[in-house]
Structure 1
C-alpha cells in the first residue's frame, strides 16, 4: 500500500478502543439499511458491508439489533434475540476482519419510538412512563419491573451472541430519544420508583444494561454507548444532561459516540440524518466540549462528508473517530482514495437524503443517487468488461448521459458524449440555485470528475441531429436529452404574468410585487422558488397540489424546508389544483372537496408543474442503430432515476 497522504496524517493514524486497534479514524456508523430478510443478515447485507471494509473503513458499526420482541420498531429490523442470528453476523465479521476493519454492532430498544407495524395491527409500545410520542403519535405503556428485567437481560444476551459471531464489540443506543434516553430524560421519565429521581436514579436502567452486557461477554469485548449530545427539542435531553450522564458512565464504557437530535419530534428528527441545509461537521465544537471533560475515546457523527473535515476534527482534538456514513454510502472507496493521495477523486456526498434514508423510510434497501451500485453490490458490485467493443454516442450531458458514458467506457466501449450547452449538468445546474441546495451541484461535478478519470471524449456546445448521427454511424445511441417545464392546461385571461420556475432561477423575468407559486410536484422546487422571492422582498404565497409542502421529499429534507418557510412567514395552501386566472385573480380548486380556492391581488403566477420529456431525436435515425434512453427523456422524474438508468444502460451495451 502507498504511504499515506501527509495531508491526512491524523485521519490515518492508528487508534485503539478497548484494546481493538483501528487502522484509521474513519467510521461507518450504525444505520438501518432495509436489507435484512426475516430479521436476519443476508447476502445483500454482507456484500454491502464488504464493499465498505474493502474500501478502507477503519471501523464499521452495524445497524441496530433488537434485544427483545418489543424492540421491533420496523418490519425489517435485525434481531439478536435468538442464536439463529449468529451465523449471519459471523459472515460480516469475517469480511471485515479480512480487510483489517474493526466491527461492532448496535444493540437496541426503541421504547415508544415505534414507527411502523410488523404485520398491520399497531404494536404495543413501551417506555419508562406513559409519556406520548409526538412524531408517531404513539401512547406507550409504562414498563413494569418484570419486563424491565427481561429487556435488560436481552441486551446482555444479544451482546453474547454478537461476540460468539466474532464481532469486536457492541454499542448501546441511548441516542435519539430511544428507550435508554427515555429513562434518562426527566421530561419523559415520570416514574415513582428507583428508576427516577436524581440523575443516578435515571441512569439505573443504563447501568443495568451495562452490567448485563459486561457479565455475559469477555473482558476484551468492547462496550460503548451512543448518545445525543443535545436532542434539539424542547422536551429532549440537553447538552448539560447528556454530558453529565457521559461523565458518570465513562468508567464503565470503552467509548462514547456523539450524535444529535431525537426521533420524538419532527424538528429533532432532522438531526438523525441531517440534510444539506445543515452545516457540514456541525457537531465538531460540541464534541470538543465532551472530549475536554471525558477520559475515554469520543466518536462523533454529524454531516462529516469529506475527509478534509474529518482531518480537522482529529487534528483539533475534538474527537478521536469520525462517523462518515453517507460519505461511505456515496463512495465506499473514500478511505483508500484519500490514503493514496487521490482525495480529489472522492465522490462527495451531497446530503440529499433521497436514496439513503429516503429509501429506508419507504421500506426499500438504501442506495445513493450518485452511486446506484450501493445496495446493489450483488448485481453491480464488480464491473464486467463488454464482450464486444461498440462505438457509442451519448446525446445529453446531464446526470443520465454522464453516468451512461462513464459506465460504458469502464466496460471498454468507444464513447463520445455530446452536450448542446457550454456546461455539463442538465437540470442540476438549476437545482443548485435553490436555497440551501448549492451542494446539489456535486451530483454534476462528481460525474464530471469521473468523465476525466476514465477518459470519456466530451464535446460541448454541439447540437446533435439525426443527420449527424447517421453520418457517424455509431453502434449505439444513448438518448439522454432531458426534459423541459410542463405547462398545464388552465383557463387563462387578462394581463396576469405567468412564468415557470426555470425562468425565475435563470433571472429571465421580472416578478411582480405579489406572487403565487403553484406547486404540482410537491418537491423542493416550489418551496425553493417561494423562499427566493420572499427573500427578494415580494409578497409570496405557496399553493401545493398535495397534503403538504414537500410531500414527496425525504422526511428530514421536507421538515427542515417547511420549518424555514414557517420562519419566513410564507402562507401555504394545500389540496390546491390550478383552474384558471385573469387580471389579478388565480382560481384553484380544493382537490378533496371540489370547492373553489381564490387568490386575489396576484401580479405573477409561478408554475412549478413538473416536466415533460424532450425526445424527438430518434424518429429519423438509421434503423440499424440501436437506440437506448435514460433519464427524463424517457419519463421526467428525478436525478436518482437519471443516474440509475444511465448506469443500467452502460451495463446493457
Structure 2
C-alpha cells in the first residue's frame, strides 16, 4: 500500500486488478492469460510502467528483455524525495525490481536504445516506456531569479519566494514540499483552477489542497509567464492584465509531452505499444495500469 488514497476513487496505484477485474477491461480475472505462442518481448524503459509490463509479459510465458539507459525506477526516487517516505515509493520500486528477477526478465541497465538497436534485436513485441518528454524551460532566468526544471530543484538554492509552473501532480507535489519547508509558494498555470492537482488522487487533493492555502500558498490559474526579472516575475492573467509576483526562483514543472518518437519510427516492424508517461504523461498509477493492461493483451 502506498497510502496514496487513489483506492478511494476506485483506482489502486499498485494493483490495477482492484478496479478492473471481471470488467470489459480485464474479463479474464486476476490471473493473467497464458501467452499467445512463443514471443520475444522487448521493453524499453525501466520506470514503473516498463517494469510492470515486463513482469506481466514474463508471467504469461514470453521471453522478456527490459532495457534501461540509467537505473531502474524512473521518476520513483524523485517522487519519494518530494512526497516523503510515507507513500512507500522506495518499497514499490524494490518490489517491481524484485518481481523482474522472480519472473526471469532479462534486465539490461546502461543501454540506450534506438531504432537500429531494436531492429538488431528483432523482437516480436516492442513496448516503449521511455517516459514523457520535458518541454524546454519556459523562460531564461536571471542571476537573482533562476529558472530550473522540476527534477533539479532539490539541488538548487531557491530562496524564500518560489513560483512553480504547472498544475500537474509533479508541480503540486513540489509546491506542497516547499510549503512544508516554510517557503512562500505561488503556483502558476494557463489551465483553469479545476486542473490543480491533475494526476493526484481525488481524496488526496481534498486533504492537502486546503492545507496548501492555509500555509499561505497561492494559485494563479489561467495565467501565462510573461517575463522573469530580478526578484520577481510577471504573468498575464485571463483578462489580459499583468500581475507581478515575488520570486527568488521559478521551478518549471510544465506538463510533459508524449514521447512516441521511437515507437513511431518502428511502427509496422513488429507489434509496437506505448505506455505510461511515454503515451500520456499523468501519474504513477496510470503508468502501472497501462503497463499491466498492455502486457495482458499483447
Per-residue CA deviation, residues 431-457 of structure 1 (Å, 9 max, x unaligned), is 111144552514423322322222222
Flag structure 2 segments of 5+ consecutive residues without an equivalent: none
Once residues 551 and 455 of structure 1 are traced to their aligned partners in structure 2, the CA distance between those partners, rounded to angstroms, is 36
The secondary structure found in structure 2 opposite 1:599 is: strand
Once residues 543 and 512 of structure 1 are traced to their aligned partners in structure 2, the CA distance between those partners, rounded to angstroms, is 18
Instruction: Identify the residue that residue 368 of structure 1 maps to in structure 2.
Output: 12
Taking the TM superposition and a 5 Å limit, the aligned residue runs for 1:475-624 are 475-487=124-136, 496-505=145-154, 507=155, 509-521=156-168, 523=169, 525-536=170-181, 538-543=183-188, 545-547=191-193, 549-550=196-197, 553-566=200-213, 569-584=215-230, 585-591=232-238, 594-618=239-263, 620-621=265-266, 623-624=268-269
User: Offset at 1:620?
Assistant: 4.9
Instruction: Identify the residue that residue 425 of structure 1 maps to in structure 2.
Output: 73
Q: 1:487 to 1:520 in 2, by over 3 A?
A: farther
Residue 460 in 1 paired to residue 109 in 2? yes
Instruction: Identify the residue that residue 282 of structure 2 maps to in structure 1.
Output: 637
The secondary structure found in structure 2 opposite 1:445 is: helix
Flag structure 1 segments of 5+ consecutive residues without an equivalent: 1-348, 359-365
User: Offset at 1:602?
Assistant: 2.0
Q: 1:497 to 1:380 in 2, by over 3 A?
A: farther
The secondary structure found in structure 2 opposite 1:635 is: coil
The secondary structure found in structure 2 opposite 1:397 is: coil
User: Offset at 1:482?
Assistant: 0.6
Which has the greater radius of gyration? Answer: 1
Instruction: Identify the residue that residue 395 of structure 1 maps to in structure 2.
Output: 44
Once residues 546 and 443 of structure 1 are traced to their aligned partners in structure 2, the CA distance between those partners, rounded to angstroms, is 33
Once residues 159 and 237 of structure 2 are traced to their aligned partners in structure 1, the CA distance between those partners, rounded to angstroms, is 26
TM-score by length of 2: 0.84
The secondary structure found in structure 1 opposite 2:193 is: coil
Q: Give the count of matched residue pairs.
A: 288
Once residues 628 and 570 of structure 1 are traced to their aligned partners in structure 2, the CA distance between those partners, rounded to angstroms, is 44
Instruction: Check conservation: 1:520, 1:546, Cα contact below 8 A.
Output: no
Residue 434 in 1 paired to residue 82 in 2? yes
Higher relative contact order (CA 8 A, sep 6+): 2
Q: 1:590 to 1:551 in 2, by over 3 A?
A: farther
Once residues 372 and 572 of structure 1 are traced to their aligned partners in structure 2, the CA distance between those partners, rounded to angstroms, is 35
Taking the TM superposition and a 5 Å limit, the aligned residue runs for 1:289-300 are none
Instruction: Check conservation: 2:133, 2:278, Cα contact below 8 A.
Output: no
User: Offset at 1:597?
Assistant: 4.9
User: Offset at 1:551?
Assistant: 6.2
Instruction: Identify the residue that residue 353 of structure 1 maps to in structure 2.
Output: 5
Instruction: Identify the residue that residue 652 of structure 1 maps to in structure 2.
Output: 297
Per-residue CA deviation, residues 127-183 of structure 1 (Å, 9 max, x unaligned), is xxxxxxxxxxxxxxxxxxxxxxxxxxxxxxxxxxxxxxxxxxxxxxxxxxxxxxxxx
Once residues 171 and 281 of structure 2 are traced to their aligned partners in structure 1, the CA distance between those partners, rounded to angstroms, is 16
Q: 1:597 to 1:402 in 2, by over 3 A?
A: same
Q: 1:387 to 1:547 in 2, by over 3 A?
A: closer
User: Offset at 1:534?
Assistant: 4.3
The secondary structure found in structure 1 opposite 2:108 is: strand
Taking the TM superposition and a 5 Å limit, the aligned residue runs for 1:297-376 are 349-354=1-6, 356-358=7-9, 366-376=10-20
Q: 1:597 to 1:434 in 2, by over 3 A?
A: farther
Per-residue CA deviation, residues 340-374 of structure 1 (Å, 9 max, x unaligned), is xxxxxxxxx112122x212xxxxxxx342221122
Once residues 178 and 13 of structure 2 are traced to their aligned partners in structure 1, the CA distance between those partners, rounded to angstroms, is 29
Superposed CA RMSD: 2.7
Q: 1:606 to 1:433 in 2, by over 3 A?
A: same
Once residues 240 and 257 of structure 2 are traced to their aligned partners in structure 1, the CA distance between those partners, rounded to angstroms, is 29
Once residues 39 and 204 of structure 2 are traced to their aligned partners in structure 1, the CA distance between those partners, rounded to angstroms, is 42
Instruction: Check conservation: 1:390, 1:413, Cα contact below 8 A.
Output: yes
The secondary structure found in structure 1 opposite 2:13 is: coil
The secondary structure found in structure 1 opposite 2:82 is: coil
Once residues 8 and 287 of structure 2 are traced to their aligned partners in structure 1, the CA distance between those partners, rounded to angstroms, is 19
Once residues 293 and 114 of structure 2 are traced to their aligned partners in structure 1, the CA distance between those partners, rounded to angstroms, is 25
Instruction: Identify the residue that residue 628 of structure 1 maps to in structure 2.
Output: 273
The secondary structure found in structure 2 opposite 1:444 is: helix
Per-residue CA deviation, residues 255-294 of structure 1 (Å, 9 max, x unaligned), is xxxxxxxxxxxxxxxxxxxxxxxxxxxxxxxxxxxxxxxx
